Amino acid sequence: MLFPQNTPTRSLVSLDGTWDFCIDPGRDEPTLDGASADLPGAEKMAVPASYNDLSQDAAVRDHIGWAWYQRWVTPSRLWAGQRLVLHFGSVAHHARVFIDGAEVARHKGGFLPFQVDISEFVDVAAPFRLAVAVDNRLDWSCLPCGEIKEPKGPQYPDGYRQQVIHFDFFNYAGIHRSVHVQVLPPVHVVAAQVDAQVDEQGRGQLAWVASLSDQAGLRVECCDAEGRIVASGSGIQGSCTLDEVHLWQPGAGYCYTLWLIAEDADGNELDRYPVRTGFRRIEVSKEQFLINGTPFYFRGFGKHEDSTLSGRAHNPVTLIKDLKLLGWINANSFRTSHYPYAEEVLDLCDELGIVVIDESPAVGLWDHSAPVFDCGKVGDDTLAHHNDVMSDLIARDRHHPCVVMWSVANEPASWEEGARPYFEAVVAHTRELDATRPLCCVVNTSAQGDRIQDLFDVTCLNRYPAWYSDPGRLETIEPGLLHDLREVHERFGKPIIITEYGADTVAGLHNDPVTMFSEEFQVEYLKACHRAFDALPFVIGEHVWNFADFMTKQGITRIIGNRKGVFTRDRQPKASAHYLRQRWQEASRP
């Protein structure tokens, strides 16, 4: 699957904007005829956006089950004789797509794209009704995982149910990324796998595998950032060598463009599609993560795709602000916690030289009240879906030089015996897909309790001393972390990134002496953690949790969301942001 783009041979029609929307009252299956009839009592809904925060009705915000989106599309006569592909950037979490009442596609998973060829369903001389049924329910076969429970008791109405989730972010739903109709020539490039590596002699090694919609030749041109052709080749599978290559570097993103050009037997151009990539070399040792032979220290954050009003939807305004704030605070990296972000995010990180740990949506694979791997809740269906997601994620993102590592999961129940064979299978599958990048799995277990970290190349740990344990006891942070991290490194022998650490902080709340939830406490908390990190040469990164405050489900520990951000949800800095800016500006490590 290729990202939708306008090219000399392709055109792109955006379907973003205002759609009709309504909640479906059905419990398990839709009961409204939203596929072929007008939606009853429809309200207007923005696309892309989470529907939850755009209504004044709590029943919409907290809805469990199906909802309908619908709009009319007027084709152009210029579409005649072309292939029409309907592309969704993401729909959370299950989607059924209809054209004039006919179902044309189904998709499971809320964070990766899907598309369908609709050429046979569209009469270019007449408008057509496009409808999407969206289901936000999560079960143990989904990523993220969840479960529907139906509690009984006098306080619960008949048929009452709850969506139980084991992750700490709001379960936003809807059409979260752009919708497009791609107008393609009859013979076109369907998919491409592009790998750009640097060999031991410093030469660029470029390889590609492509597929076409019909029989044709394929010519390949590699252009540098100035548009000069620096290498070429032919065939749906091939490779070429660049004797001199401009490296992609952290903080200095340099990209090449590989043009895939389909041709007929006479050399006439049928289709032209660009894939942008970059050359850099990744290596991992016992105490280092090296990019292009230079040790790299991760400075940055775990983030969320989360903003006021838009919810989890891709929002270019928020994206640009976030990237500018990353530059202001002197960060060099982030993790796409806890799911793949929009492709537009990675495109800009390629350009800007921002390093990314690309994470799958495998979060919630635990339950505080019962085993999940050992009792079969997380089983064969989950594993099959997990492997499918890794396949789709790597197919989408492998050409991005900013992506330096795949994260296969966040905080699974890695202490359970059943976690071992599950992640052995995920790791084997992922390494077969891409042997060029290291793998990690973010865990919150102790050195002795974890059963899976030896499977990975880098140890990624979430740690909250003096917060969830010994709350408020800042004096316990440094000695506790020193002991903990030394023990982990001694057992697994891998470099360590602290992928989460932090403290909830209410902006504007001050207290002296410092107490929890105050801005002063957050600063002192981070300082204590950093004293431990700086004393340990095998710690190769610090990702503060979180970049910005974000929405969660309601709970007694959440004051309208998680407040661990160093920026507020509307992207204003807390005191900790100024502290981090100075620390990272003066950083002695690369």
The catalytic site residues sit at 411, 500
For helices 519-534 and 575-585, the axis angle rounded to 10 degrees is 30
Using CA atoms, how far apart are residues 280 and 294, in angstroms rounded to an integer?
11
Could you tell me if 2 and 189 are in contact, meaning their C-beta atoms sit under 8 angstroms apart? yes
Neighbours of 101 (CB within 10 A): 13
| Upper half-sphere CA count for residue 117 (Cβ side, 13 Å) | 11
Q: Tell me 98's DSSP state.
A: E
**CA 1 vs CA 5, 87, 116, 191, 218: distances in Å:** 12, 10, 10, 5, 17
For helices 419-433 and 380-397, the axis angle rounded to 10 degrees is 30
Q: For residue 400, what are the contacts with CB-CB under 8 A and spacing of at least 6?
A: 277, 346, 347, 349, 350, 356, 358
Residue type, 190: V
Instruction: Supply the Cα-derived Rg of the chain in whole angstroms.
Output: 24
Please, is 416 exposed, middle or buried when counting C-beta atoms within 10 Å of its C-beta (0-12, 13-18, 19+)? buried
Please, is 74 exposed, middle or buried when counting C-beta atoms within 10 Å of its C-beta (0-12, 13-18, 19+)? exposed
**Dihedral over Cα of 441, 444, 446, 450: its sign:** negative
Using CA atoms, how far apart are residues 269 and 241, in angstroms rounded to an integer?
25
Q: Tell me 485's DSSP state.
A: H
Q: For residue 168, what are the contacts with CB-CB under 8 A and spacing of at least 6?
A: 552, 562
Q: Indicate the pairing of strand 66-73 with strand 217-223.
A: unpaired
Whose tokens are 């015996």? That residue is 417
